[in-house]
C-alpha cells in the first residue's frame, strides 16, 4: 500500500523505531537505535566500572566516560552546566531530572518551562548553527530518531549523549543515564518510582486480560500498534491482551501493522484505544458512527477512547508513568479508578 503524505508527515520514532507524529503537532522524529545497555565508567584513579543504577546512588565523579544508548563511548570532562536537548523526548528527560535545556525543537510544548528555550527547528534536522550558538557543554540527542545526526553533532566538538525510549525498560535506562551524566539523583528517583508503580499495577491486574486494539492514524487510514511498539509495550504492562499480537510488522514503520477491518472486527476487541494523527474528526468518532463496528464489544459498551499522542507517540519516555496510569484506568476502570 502506498504511504500517503499524511503518514509521511507522521513518521516518528519512539519506542516504535520509526513513529508517526501528528500532523497537528507538526512534529519531528525518526530513526532507529542500538539496543546497547549503557554502562558507565568513572575515570577515577581506580578505573572502576559501575552500572548506571549503581552510579546514580552516589555523586558522579568527573571526568566521566559512559556508553550511551546509541552504543557510543562519551567522555564528559566536568559536570555539565549548560545542556542542550534536541528532541521532544530528550527535552522532557532533562527537565524531569531537575535540569533545564538551552534549546528545544519546534514541536516541544511540554514542560511549559521549556518554551523559553531557543527553538532550533525540527528534530529530524535541527539547526546546527543555532545549537552551537547556544554554547552548551553537553548535547543530549535522541537515540531513537537522531542517530543519523551523530557526525554533524560531533563536529561541534561538544560531548553528545544519546538517550531515548522504544519501550518501558529504555525509559528506566535513560533516566538513570541522564541522572548520572548530569550528577542528579533525580534520575534514579524517577526510575525507582516507575518500577514501584509497575509493581503495584502488576499486583492488581486480573487474571483475565482485556482484549485491546490500538489504532493510529486517521479515520480512513490507520495502522494497528503491535506489542513491540512503545504504546503497545505500555499497554502490555498495563494488562492488555493486544489482538494484534503475532501479526507481521508490515506498516511503513516498525511496531505497527496494516490489518483489514474484517480482521480487527473479527477479534472482537473489548477496548479500542486511538491516536488520531490529524485535526478534524477523530478515529473514535468515526467508529461510533460506522455500522461495521456496531457489534464490536468495545463500541457497544462505549469503551472506545482517544489517548494522548504526545505521551504515547511524539515524546515517548519521560511520561511513561502517566501513560501507565491512563491505560490501566481505561483497561480496568473498576480496579484502577
pLDDT tens, N- to C-terminus, the chain (337 residues): 333 333 333 434 333 333 443 333 333 443 333 333 343 433 332 233 334 443 445 789 999 999 999 999 999 999 999 999 999 999 999 999 999 999 999 999 999 999 999 999 999 999 999 999 999 999 999 999 999 999 999 999 999 999 999 999 999 999 999 999 999 999 999 999 999 999 999 999 999 999 999 999 999 999 999 999 999 999 999 999 999 999 999 988 889 999 999 999 999 999 999 999 888 999 999 998 999 999 999 999 999 999 999 999 999 999 999 999 999 999 999 999 8
- Give the separation between CA 42 and CA 183, rounded to whole angstroms: 12
Query: Among the residues of 31-167, which ranges form H helices?
Result: 52-55, 88-96, 128-133, 150-154
Last residue of a domain, one of 200, 227, 249: 200
| Cβ-based neighbours of 252, under 8 Å, separated by 6 or more | 3, 7, 11
Is residue 29 included in any domain, yes or no? no
Shared domain for 242 and 130, answered yes or no, is no
Shared domain for 247 and 158, answered yes or no, is no
Shared domain for 158 and 293, answered yes or no, is no
Q: Which residues does residue 139 pair with via DSSP β-bridges, in sequence order?
A: 84, 160
3-class SS of residue 122: coil
Cα 5–Cα 120–Cα 319 angle in degrees, nearest 5:
75
| 227-248 exposure pattern, b = at least 16 Cβ within 10 A, e = fewer | bbbbbbbbbbbbbbbbbbeebe
Q: Which residue has the cell 485491546?
A: 212
What is the predicted pLDDT for the residue at 254? 86
| CATH code for position 72 | 3.40.50.1980
- Give the separation between CA 207 and CA 82, rounded to whole angstroms: 49
Is residue 124 included in any domain, yes or no? yes
| Cβ-based neighbours of 54, under 8 Å, separated by 6 or more | none
Is residue 28 included in any domain, yes or no? no
Shared domain for 210 and 190, answered yes or no, is no
**Maximum separation of any 2 CA atoms in the chain, in Å:** 71
Q: What is the DSSP letter of 175?
A: H
Shared domain for 121 and 54, answered yes or no, is yes
Is residue 11 included in any domain, yes or no? no
- Give the separation between CA 142 and CA 86, rounded to whole angstroms: 7
- Give the separation between CA 78 and CA 138, rounded to whole angstroms: 10
3-class SS of residue 324: helix
Is residue 175 included in any domain, yes or no? yes
Last residue of a domain, one of 177, 200, 223: 200
What is the predicted pLDDT for the residue at 337? 87
Is residue 316 included in any domain, yes or no? yes
Shared domain for 221 and 255, answered yes or no, is yes
Q: What is the DSSP letter of 310?
A: I
Shared domain for 237 and 329, answered yes or no, is yes
Q: Do residues 70 and 33 touch, judged by C-beta distance below 8 A? A: yes
Last residue of a domain, one of 200, 221, 250: 200
Is residue 16 included in any domain, yes or no? no
Q: What is the pLDDT of residues 133-143, one digit of tens each?
A: 999 999 999 99
- Give the separation between CA 205 and CA 319, rounded to whole angstroms: 21
Looking at the structure of the chain, the number of domains it has is: 2
Is residue 219 included in any domain, yes or no? yes
Shared domain for 259 and 147, answered yes or no, is no
Shared domain for 219 and 315, answered yes or no, is yes
* Residue ranges of E strands in the chain: 11-14, 16-20, 40-42, 49-50, 64-67, 73-76, 83-85, 103-104, 118-119, 138-142, 160-163, 210-218, 221-225, 240-242, 256-257, 271-276, 304-306
Domain that holds residue 129: 40-200
What is the predicted pLDDT for the residue at 278? 86
Q: Do residues 169 and 179 touch, judged by C-beta distance below 8 A? A: no
Cα→Cα distances 73→65, 180, 185, 216, Å? 7, 15, 22, 36
Shared domain for 159 and 177, answered yes or no, is yes
Shared domain for 188 and 99, answered yes or no, is yes
Shared domain for 102 and 47, answered yes or no, is yes
What is the predicted pLDDT for the residue at 54? 39
Amino acid at each position: 500500500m502506498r504511504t500517503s503524505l499524511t503518514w509521511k508527515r507522521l513518521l516518528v520514532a519512539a519506542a516504535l523505531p520509526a513513529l508517526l507524529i501528528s500532523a497537528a503537532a507538526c512534529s519531528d522524529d525518526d530513526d532507529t537505535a542500538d539496543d546497547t545497555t549503557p554502562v558507565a565508567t568513572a575515570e577515577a584513579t581506580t578505573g572502576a566500572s559501575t552500572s548506571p543504577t549503581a552510579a546514580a546512588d552516589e555523586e558522579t565523579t568527573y571526568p566521566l566516560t559512559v556508553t550511551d544508548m546509541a552504543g557510543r563511548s562519551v567522555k564528559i570532562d566536568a559536570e555539565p552546566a549548560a545542556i542542550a536537548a534536541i528532541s521532544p523526548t530528550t527535552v522532557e528527560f532533562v527537565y524531569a531530572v531537575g535540569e533545564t535545556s538551552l534549546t528545544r525543537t519546534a514541536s516541544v510544548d511540554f514542560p511549559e518551562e521549556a518554551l523559553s528555550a531557543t527553538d532550533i527547528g525540527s528534530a529530524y534536522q535541527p539547526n546546527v548553527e543555532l545549537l552551537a550558538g547556544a554554547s552548551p557543554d553537553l548535547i543530549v540527542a535522541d537515540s531513537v530518531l537522531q542517530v543519523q545526526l551523530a557526525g554533524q553533532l560531533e563536529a561541534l566538538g561538544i560531548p553528545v549523549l544519546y538517550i531515548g525510549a522504544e519501550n518501558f525498560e529504555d525509559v528506566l535506562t535513560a533516566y538513570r543515564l541522564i541522572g548520572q551524566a548530569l550528577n542528579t539523583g533525580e534520575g534514579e528517583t524517577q526510575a525507582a518510582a516507575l518500577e514501584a508503580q509497575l509493581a503495584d499495577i502488576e499486583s492488581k491486574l486480573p487474571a483475565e486480560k482485556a482484549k485491546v486494539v490500538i489504532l493510529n492514524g486517521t479515520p480512513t487510514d490507520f495502522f494497528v500498534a503491535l506489542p513491540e511498539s512503545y504504546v503497545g509495550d505500555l499497554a502490555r504492562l498495563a494488562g492488555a491482551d493486544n489482538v494484534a499480537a503475532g501479526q507481521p510488522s508490515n506498516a511503513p514503520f516498525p511496531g505497527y501493522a496494516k490489518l483489514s477491518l474484517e480482521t480487527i472486527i473479527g477479534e472482537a476487541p473489548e477496548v479500542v484505544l486511538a491516536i488520531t494523527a490529524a485535526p478534524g474528526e477523530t478515529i473514535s468518532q468515526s467508529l461510533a458512527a460506522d455500522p461495521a463496528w456496531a457489534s464490536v464489544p468495545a463500541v457497544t459498551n462505549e469503551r472506545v477512547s482517544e489517548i494522548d499522542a504526545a505521551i504515547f507517540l511524539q515524546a515517548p519516555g519521560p511520561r511513561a508513568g502517566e501513560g501507565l496510569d491512563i491505560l490501566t484506568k481505561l483497561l480496568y476502570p473498576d480496579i484502577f479508578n
